[in-house]
Amino acid sequence: MKKAIILPILILFILTNCEKVVDVDVPTTAPKLVIDASFEVFFDETPVRANTTVKLRLSADYFDDTIPTVTNATVFVTNLSNGTIINFSDNNSDGDFEPTTTFIPEDNSEYELTVVYNSETFKGRATKIKSTPFTKIVQGDTTLFTGNETELEIFFTDSGTQDDYYLFDFTKNNLLTLEDRFFNGSDYNFSFFFLEDEIELPTNITVKISGITKEYFTYFGILIDQSGQSGGGPFQSVPSTILGNIVNTTNDDNFPLGYFHISETDTFNLDLVDKTK
């Protein structure tokens, strides 16, 4: 009996005395300007509307809980086809800059985004990329591993006139990139699954499909891989630097993060029910 008691106590004593607190020194870097200018033109709505918000933030260290906003910047977009300038302002002082007049990006026009911050000028160019509308979206009955996943069945038709690249937004930071390599010009459908802890049923969701460039497809695919599905988009800290298409024309060494892109976007609103009841 005595040996049975002494042995656990001895092991506990050894393990307790072997514990050592290790301080991990995480290097800090100077914050970078992060420019999220992913414009959406909702082409299948009447009248056509657009989301043309330019979000400005500063990059944060990996373990920081807050992401600093940038409000003291000058932001405008130039239509390079006719020289028209669209000014942006941050009326709510939250780092989200909106156009001061109605702005719907046009077909076949190249736009240049300009951000002036801390006496440095950042520029990027983009042209609106065509998309296709959803044919339909329905809630399916298939599940995966636990039997409690919620299936969405997505249907659309690829244009077939070019190599197309798509970005899908299923809400809850669930994003998916897709290229038409194997279904160019065809009807296409696939399934997307919400995990049990990602969505509370019943609920209403809005799904988006956006046309994107090959370069943005590559950029966003890396962003999703590094940040994870709940990574929080381009402002979340990631293991390595991902450069976009915006450059610092004043100081090459102080490059920005983020992207300037203009997409045609279609939306589909759907009520999801709990089919287990």
Q: DSSP state, 45?
A: S
Q: Give the Cα separation of 23 and 88 in Å (integer).
A: 45
pLDDT (0 to 100) of residue 131: 96
Whole-Å CA distances, 182 to 139, 164, 179, 236: 24, 11, 8, 32
Amino acid, single-letter form, for residue 124: G
Q: Give the Cα separation of 84 and 77 in Å (integer).
A: 8
Q: DSSP state, 173?
A: T
pLDDT (0 to 100) of residue 163: 94
The two beta strands, 187-194 and 175-179, are unpaired
Q: Give the Cα separation of 67 and 2 in Å (integer).
A: 58
First to last CA, the chain: 55
Q: Give the Cα separation of 78 and 66 in Å (integer).
A: 32
> Residue-wise pLDDT tens for the chain (277 aa)?
333 433 343 333 444 455 555 554 555 678 899 999 999 999 999 999 999 999 999 987 655 667 899 999 999 999 999 999 999 999 999 999 999 999 999 999 999 999 999 999 999 999 999 999 999 999 999 988 887 899 999 999 999 888 999 999 999 889 999 999 999 999 999 999 998 888 899 999 999 999 999 999 999 888 887 765 544 455 444 445 788 999 999 999 999 999 999 999 999 999 999 987 7
pLDDT (0 to 100) of residue 52: 98
pTM: 0.84
